Amino acid sequence: MSHNAVLPNALQTPGIERLRNKRVVLASASPRRKEILRTLGLDPEVTPSKFPENLPFSSYEQIHEYPVATATQKAVEVYNRLVEADPDDPPDLVIGADTVVFTHALPATTLEMETGTRQELLEKPTSKVDNLRMLLDLNGSVFYPILTAPGYAVREFDERSLVYFADNPRHILEAYVENGEGADRAGGFAVQGLGALLIRKIDGDYHNVVGFPGAAFFKMLDILVEEDDDFLTI
């Protein structure tokens, strides 16, 4: 069976060239992740992962290891399922991703460490009350989402973007919660939608905040080509 996920607008980088005529699979149902990849020249096959995403957060010594592990398990589940379904047409590359939001960046100064600022993990809100609680925590503060994606042979990375919330009045936050846009988003907001009204600036990859770190992903592909001459050539 023929495959080609590389679009005509894609840059002719070493990593992209290795993906030509390969079966590339996105292990996510997120339309945002697929659209980001399409914008950057890649149109993967979509096979949503069935991994239950129930890893115990408390078992990870480093906070960033949690989304990395979840993303890896998503990709592995899809890879195994597709190979079992058709051993003669296995995926060449499966992209798994997981986005989480933390209420504060890691302490960078002695003062921050002394004041005892603690990070809280924010995933999807469970209710409107929970959504408002998240936005109140983020309001007037800095947080960062982490998104991870494993590549070939389970290569992992995490990408972090700092998002600065404005000091929004409570009635704006309540109106946003009632709108419902953030109900199914990590952190309870969507930066590419009405949630942009709550934010004053972003440091880092905007696409990472939306749902997929496109620049870091394509850089990783080039690194894999540099490290392994046989990457995706078999």
Catalytic residues: 98
- Would strands 24-26 and 121-122 be described as parallel, antiparallel, or unpaired? unpaired
192: nearest Cα among 140, 145, 125:
145
For residue 194, give every residue at least 6 positions away whose Cβ sits within 8 Å of its Cβ, in sequence order, or none: 176, 179, 181
For residue 22, give every residue at least 6 positions away whose Cβ sits within 8 Å of its Cβ, in sequence order, or none: 3, 4, 5, 92, 93, 232
Given a contact cutoff of 8 angstroms between Cβ atoms, the answer to whether 74 and 97 are in contact is yes
DSSP 9: T
Q: Tell me the sheet residues that pair with 57.
A: none
